[in-house]
């Protein structure tokens, strides 16, 4: 019976370590997807000349994962005509912060960008998008560095912590 408990402890701590490593690994991938989404939004605004709700819904079909869901929620909020652009953006952000691996810094960059969305002419809107992209590029470099440093460490710590707990409890 004690071996069964030891195996359960080992599996659970290893699982926790791998889940933490997954969050570190997913963050750069999601940031790259978000950058692609904002670049596509820039193209839609500059050349597509379609309403923002349609642009958001179009982007949600092009992308995948939490970033696609973010644009889907924002687009559906705008389509329902019960909110302003900023409120729809905030609605999407609340879902994105809960379902993604983004840190509060990335969410704040998006929040600041969302405050300007739909309030400027196309050229100024393009400048705002490029500013947000520059900030996200900096965050992407930091996320790549963190992935290199921490992904392997979290996996190893999960395994070693499980072994330590088993030794201490036996």
**2-6, 17-21, 69-73, 82-86: least confidently modelled range:** 82-86
How do residues 82-95 score in pLDDT, each as one tens digit? 668 888 888 888 88
Tokens coding 59: 């982007």
Residue 159 confidence (pLDDT) above 70:
yes
CA neighbor of 56 nearest in space, from 84, 92, 99:
92
> Do the domain assignments include residue 117?
yes
pLDDT-based confidence at residue 16 (cuts at 50, 70, 90)? very high
What is the C-alpha to C-alpha distance for residues 57 and 69, in angstroms, rounded to an integer? 10
Q: First CA to last CA across the chain, in angstroms?
A: 12
Confidence of residue 109 (pLDDT cuts 50, 70, 90): very high
Q: How many independent structural domains does the chain possess?
A: 1
- Determine, yes or no, domain membership for 36: yes
Spacing of C-alpha 115 from chain mean position: 19
With respect to residue 79, please indicate whether it lies within any of the assigned structural domains: yes
Residue 158 in any domain: the answer is no
Q: Is residue 4 part of a domain?
A: no
pLDDT of residue 33: 92
State which residues form the domain around 34. Answer: 27-149
Rounded to whole angstroms, how far apart are CA atoms 144 and 123?
31
Instruction: Render pLDDT for 57-77 as a digit per residue (tens, 0 to 9).
Output: 889 899 988 999 999 988 888
In sequence order, the 6+-apart residues with CB closer than 8 A to the CB of 103 are 27, 139
Confirm whether pTM is higher than 0.95. no
Within a domain: residue 119?
yes
* The predicted structure's pLDDT at residue 108: 92
The answer as to whether 169 is a domain residue is no
């Amino acid at each position: 019976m004690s071996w069964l408990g030891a195996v359960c402890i080992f599996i659970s701590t290893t699982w926790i370590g791998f889940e933490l490593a997954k969050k570190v690994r997913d963050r750069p991938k999601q940031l790259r997807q978000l950058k692609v989404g904002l670049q596509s939004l820039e193209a839609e605004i500059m050349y597509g000349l379609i309403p923002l709700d349609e642009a958001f819904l179009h982007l949600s079909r092009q992308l995948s994962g939490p970033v696609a869901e973010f644009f889907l929620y924002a687009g559906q909020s705008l389509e329902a005509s019960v909110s302003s652009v900023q409120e729809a953006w905030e609605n999407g952000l609340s879902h994105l912060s809960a379902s993604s691996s983004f840190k509060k810094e990335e969410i704040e960059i998006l929040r600041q960008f969302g405050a300007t969305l739909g309030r400027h002419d196309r050229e100024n809107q393009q400048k705002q998008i490029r500013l947000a992209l520059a900030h996200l590029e900096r965050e992407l470099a930091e996320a790549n560095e963190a992935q290199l440093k921490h992904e392997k460490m979290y996996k190893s710590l999960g395994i070693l912590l499980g072994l330590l707990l088993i030794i201490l409890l036996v």
